[in-house]
Every structure is written in structure tokens, then in C-alpha cells.
Amino acid sequence: MSVELKPCPFCGGISFSYRFKKDNRMVFGVRHEICTIECLGCTASVRQAGSTREKAEENAADIWNRRAET
């Protein structure tokens, strides 16, 4: 895990599952990775794409942490 996640804003959980899959669409000739981060406590989740697994994970973690702040 490259980016640390903030606790879930809905249930306060700190356990998450990471899932990766290949996007069906091609973007500039590259098939992007999609990362889904899901809270194991309440199944809240975020989904983001990226050019690599690492990028997708980073983007998803970023979205998650921004959501956790609000």
C-alpha cells in the first residue's frame, strides 16, 4: 500500500480491500487499470482509473482521503 487511508467517514473503519481490474476502454492506446477501495466495515467504496495499478491505487486513495475530510 503506497498511500495511507484515513478512517472511513461513515463507520470509522480502518480495514479496506483493494481490487484491481482492467478498464474496457482504451485511452491513448493504453488500457487503464481501475482500482476499487472498499471499506470492510460498511462497504462504502471509491473507484478510480489510472495508467498503472500504482497510479490507480494512488488516485483512488486520494479520492477516499478527500471524502474522509468532508
Applying CB under 5 A, the residues found at the interface with Zn ion are: 8, 10-11, 13, 39, 41-42, 44
Q: What is the CA radius of gyration of the chain?
A: 12
Evaluate whether 58 touches 50 at the Cβ level (below 8 Å): yes
43/52 with CB nearer Zn ion? 43
Closest distance to Zn ion from the beta carbon of 64 (Å): 11
8/34 with CB nearer Zn ion? 8
45/51 with CB nearer Zn ion? 45
Q: What is the DSSP string of 10-58?
A: TT----EEEEEEEEEEEETTEEEEEEEEEETTT--EEEEEESSHHHHHH
Closest distance to Zn ion from the beta carbon of 20 (Å): 20
